[in-house]
Structure 1
Amino acid sequence: MGTMDSENKNLVLILLVLALFTGMAVEVSEGSTAVGVILFLISVFLLTQINFKHLGNSGLLKKSKTYFVIGVFIVSADLYYNFKNGGELGTLDVMTLFFGASLIGTQLQNSQIARVSKFGAYISSVFVVLYLIFYSMFAFLNIDFLHKFDHYMILLPTVKIIGLMGIPLEVIATETVRISGVEEMTMVIGGPCSGLYSMFLLIGIVFGYSQIEKMDFNRTFMMLGFCVAVAYISNLFRVIVLYLTAYYYGEETMMLVHTHIGWIIFAGVAAGIMYFIELKR
């Protein structure tokens, strides 16, 4: 019973970390940097509460000055690039810095920090790789995946649902709708509204947890598939809430809701995801 309770606690903590990481990424790139930092610190604290029972046997990132130097270089290079170009830290920057910091942390003498850093390295590296594939490589190869995904998988389904509620929305571009409510406005469904950032984070967390806990392929695949499906459905719900907020309360209120609602919804569905996973154990 003690082992089962420990595993249940781990899953709850991991899903909460997912929600907080999602909130951190959104807040830093679009909302309040201070709130993003607070969410990041809370998520790191929760990571320290996870009992990775197999982590000590993992061969990932053994003590080496090379990893420490690489981590310092990544953090320094990213900060220098943004400082030199006068740009604000975006989602990719945050996750790149997190990866560099995680590499540094794996080489510290504090065992708890080293354990958390190994998990953080999994999360951030998977996010960065997926981001570079879907946002950078696809753009370089002129693969129009993102616009098609936003249009067919996000915009059209949500517009259809809103139409069933008796609220007319006019699709005026691939990722843009016109809303005629308390005020007329256009709303672009793209970028963070695609929900891909959240999926990337989730994939990183599931992958890292499966590697550290030596999970079998079937359970890993089940966790990954179900969590991605819930992330997608939750994002549809988020976009619908934004439509309704814009229609009834206007653009200013909608933008306020837009900044915070994503990670709050993820926190809300975390318990449901954990419950489903435990039923399938």
Structure 2
Amino acid sequence: MFSVNHLSLMIAVAQIYWLSSQWAKTGMMQELVVLIQSRLSPRASIAILPAVLGFLPVPGGALFSAPLVDSCDREGRIDPTLKSVVNYWFRHVWEFWCPLYPGILLAMEITGLTILQVMLVGLPLSFSAILAGYLFFLREIPGGKLPTQSPTNGFLKQFLLLTSPIIIVIGIQTVLPIFFPGITEFNKYLPISIGIIMAYLFLQILKPLTLATWREIFGQKKIFSLLLLISMIMVYVAFIEAKLPNGTPLVTMISEE
């Protein structure tokens, strides 16, 4: 009922949340916010900020990005309800395929799909969500320019550096199985775990954290609640898939009674 893959899934989920916390603790997340706000229009910033932050799921993430979205509207010209809708909408446009979402990892475990298969199905949905968000929400927001707060050169370089944890994890998880097909047969969550570890190391070299900060990151209690929930879901899945000695699925017998 409980396999190595299930344990690896739980480890990967914990790693994702720890990486999210590390990214925030380094200050790079806030630097990314400042970079986007200083270079893009309010309309673009209000959509891009929650979308970028949405790549790494953080408990209460929508509440975290809400004040950042609000700060893009310095003159208070945008309806608060509209800002809330845009924040929530664009923060979740990647949840159809992004392997950094625990729900996607759980879906891969249950269905047996690979990350490339999930991306093939989910990416069009993400693009559709972005288009719908623009058509129904963003067009109502004025597109005026924000005052420049940082040098105009090197925007792309800074953006890639500040989003490097996301790029490293998704890149390694996508590319590693292509060059080493057997790695997912050994353990389907090994590529993402390797990617997250590499992101840990990169961030620690770039923006070192103290031992006390790491203890705080690893000691978060919310992650244990999530892992317990995932464990219960896997138990439920095992129950659904269980068969009687005669080969009849257990749920079939229950439904007939």
TM-score, normalised on structure 2?
0.31
TM-score, normalised on structure 1?
0.28
Q: Which structure shows the higher helix fraction?
A: 1
Q: Which structure shows the higher strand fraction?
A: 1
